Structure 1
Amino acid sequence: MTGPMKHKGMPGRGRQDRRIREMDHDPYHSKLKLSGPAVCSQCGVVFADGRWQWGEPGHEYREVVCPACQRVRDRVPAGFLTLKGAFLGRHRDEIENLVRNVEEREKAHHPMKRIMGFDEQDGALVVTFTEPRLARGAGEAVEDAFEGELAIQYSEDEFLLRVYWTREA
């Protein structure tokens, strides 16, 4: 059901996860088989030349809802980043800003990569994403900047990635 976990930064342990083949089985991407130019009626992203991109739609296009906006509407995240520990309580604003900066940088080139929300759950901060690789990238950025323990778990049966970061001290 779930793939192996990655333990980055632990001595003697290399990368143990398998590559995530996201576009192969993302149900939100396979729903839209667009044959021509389109623009998302929610966020304005343009589908042209076979991919979603920021820009002007051109003269003739069809209005649709892009996969990222569909996920947000349906409340179906593709990635979760769970942050917890005493360190989070003291540095929450910095960590949130870092996660937002990762999203901003990624979204500029890959419009389907977005944060869906930040939620408090049992003393942890849970960030939800429209795309698994963004959850992974945000988790790795937090670990690179603040150290701590990072674990990554994915499900082969679902289009879903869970990233866990913890630091107490």
Structure 2
Amino acid sequence: MHLDVHYVPSVSVYAQPTAALVAQEWKALGVQTKLTADTTTALSQTMFQTSNSDVYLEPFGGNLPTQMVPYVSGPAPPDGVNLAGINNVAYNSLVAKAEALLLVWRRTSRPGDPAPLLRPAGLDPAARYRDVRTGAVHFATVLRECGIRPELPRGDWASAAVHRVRMP
């Protein structure tokens, strides 16, 4: 077995020694490794355009678990950012139910026109969802049956995003 291992030395003083240690341990298991030191530009190209590596040693994370969702689901590079190319139907179904992002806009407005009423589909009917902006929590059935009237700024071409996250 042969693995192409990439890392970026400028990210940390530990990047190169860590890559060397990984290669040493894998060699003991009979795995041949090729170590490739990349620049940050090469990192972006390899991770998000070509996916031309077997292993990428790179610190990666987010402040919220929801920030990691695109990196472990959806299309792989170059069409998306699912870095590992994971395609788990059950997980994807749960992810789709875990969050809802509604984008709404109004081309033109007339005095007194209310914002459009949105009825989000695809939410888990037994779940509650928290509005990321306000912190308000709503049952999915209420959101679907009663709808959401987003707060749009005044004027033409007004837009807003309504972001809901499923409560545990």
TM-score grouping bracket, smaller chain normalisation: under 0.3
Task: Point out which structure has higher relative CO (alpha carbons under 8 A, 6+ apart).
Answer: 1
Bigger Cα Rg: 2
Q: TM-score with structure 2 length normalisation?
A: 0.25
TM (norm. structure 1) is: 0.25
Structure with greater strand share of residues = 1
